[in-house]
Amino acid sequence: MSVTTASPSRPAVFTGTTFSVLVALSFCHMLNDMQQSLLSAIYPILKDSYNLDFSQVGMITLTFQITASLLQPLVGIYTDRHPKPYSLSIGMSFTLVGLLVLSRAGSYLGLLIGSALVGTGSSVFHPEASRITRAASGGRYGLAQSLFQLGGNTGTALGPLLAAFVVLPRGQPSLAWFSLAALTAIIVLARVGSWYKRRRTAAGPRGRGAELPTHSRRVVVIGITVLATLMFSKTFYSASFSTFYIFYLIQRFGVSVQDAQIYLFIFLGASALGTMVGGPVGDRFGRRYVIWFSILGTLPFAVALPYVGLYWTAVLTIPIGLIISSANSAILVYAQDLVPGRVGMVSGIFFGFSFGLGGLGAAALGELADFTSINLVYDVCAWLPLLGLLTWFLPDIERARLAARRSG
């Protein structure tokens, strides 16, 4: 990894966008979320092996998501005040142990414990990695956050493919091989931590406290409330895909588990591409416009999805994935701009809120599927993007930044 180093005669200079650090973080985000995605991708294997019902499958997701969501804000608040450059490697160690537990679990309780350990790893990784992403952005916050989240979404998309061609043929114990990916991430993140430690030393006390609150309490409360509601809409809907889309395809169209995982990859791959688009567009034209389009733009495709055949189901999931994921970086950077100087806390809250909602959504939708049918899950979730209308109430905090960009 190429980083700026200090010469003996002058302090290190950290200016501009440090793409080597951003690429390293994106790569590790890919490995982190790939390992998480493996868990949901092998649900059909676990369901058959342990005779689980949909509610129990939803509880596995809930255990993972709750562990991640409850700890993330606490980690973010602590590291805002006491940054720990090497905490990323420590967090990834939890993920490594969680994968080993999952590969050897012989009971439902073992699956829950392994899921909780993987969730703990995420709770450390996301808020601290988001802080370093912002530090390395050189002011191009949307671009940097998009690049970071592109890695995560790419990893999420790879999970079903790896499950289809590695775990499915070789069984649950093959999950242990993916601990090598966690080990690789630990090594890379240790180098990122070293860069961040040098940057903080070079910045000094003044550089560390450069971002001060600029918005009234009322503006912050309204903005965070609206963003949280929009996050609920997109995360709850996304949970219907990450946890139950495979079962939906199998039960409605009779496809094989392996083919269903490939269809899930199509949706997740489109989501990864959408993530990369939203950040730079938000930097240039405003994040509110990206959020408007991302949530509401999904509606017509989501409403049509439950009423079409297999071919058009696959086709419709492409614009759904592209559009709904385009707001990922825009929502997070907008929230960070609302509460400057609290990057870890805000990132922890929003990543944690996303994980928590995903877990609650999986549990609730699992109950709905057990008592009715898996098809009804997609009938109900199709209308969630209507909540995108609430974007109207987001405070306009970008006017000065966009005006400066146009005049520059």
- Give residue 213's pLDDT: 53
- Per residue in 33-74, pLDDT tens? 888 878 877 788 888 888 888 888 878 878 887 787 777 777
Q: How confident is the model at residue 195 (pLDDT cuts 50, 70, 90)?
A: very high
Given a cut of 90, whether residue 240 has pLDDT beyond it is no
**What single string gives the DSSP state of each residue in 25-93?**
HHHHHHHHHHHHHHHHHTHHHHHHHTT--HHHHHHHHHHHHHHHHHHHHHHHHHHHHS--TTHHHHHHH
How many Cβ atoms sit within 10 Å of the Cβ of residue 128? Answer: 32
Encoded amino acid at 60, one letter: I
Mean pLDDT for 125-153 is 85
**Can you give the pLDDT at residue 13?**
42
Give me the pLDDT at residue 252, please: 92
- Asked whether the predicted pLDDT for residue 10 surpasses 50, the reply is no
Considering only residues 328 and 110, tell me which one the structure prediction assigns the higher pLDDT: 110
Task: Return the number of other C-beta atoms located less than 10 Å from residue 372's C-beta.
Answer: 12
User: Which is more confidently placed, 343 or 321?
Assistant: 321
Question: Residue 117 — pLDDT band, cuts 50, 70, 90?
Answer: very high
Q: What does the pLDDT read at residue 210?
A: 47
Question: Which pLDDT tens digit goes with each residue over 261-314?
Answer: 889 889 988 888 888 887 788 777 788 888 888 888 899 999 999 999 999 999
Q: What's the maximum distance between 2 C-alpha atoms anywhere in the chain?
A: 72
Each residue's pLDDT tens digit, 154-192: 888 788 788 878 887 888 888 889 889 999 999 999 999
Highest mean pLDDT among 238-242, 259-263, 332-336: 259-263
**104 is written with which tokens?**
């050897």
Distances (CA, A) of 408 to 288, 381, 405: 21, 43, 5
Q: Find how far residue 361's CA is from the centre of its chain.
A: 15
pLDDT at residue 404, as a whole number: 57
Query: In this predicted model, what pLDDT tens digit does every residue of 243-255 receive, in sequence order?
Result: 788 888 998 999 9
pLDDT (average), residues 130-147: 85
pLDDT digits (tens, 9 = 90+) for 364-390: 788 888 888 888 888 888 888 888 888
Question: What pLDDT score was predicted for residue 353?
Answer: 65
- Do residues 139 and 131 touch, judged by C-beta distance below 8 A? no
Q: Tens digits of per-residue pLDDT, 203-226?
A: 665 544 445 556 777 888 888 888
Q: SS3 sequence, 286-349?
A: CHHHHHHHHHHCCHHHHHHHHHCCHHHHHHHHHHHHHHHHCCHHHHHHHHHHHCCCCHHHHHHH
Among the residue ranges 78-82, 107-111, 227-231, the one predicted with the least confidence is 78-82
Output the pLDDT for position 236.
79
* pTM (2 d.p.): 0.70
- Full set of structural domains in the chain with CATH: 19-407 (1.20.1250.20)
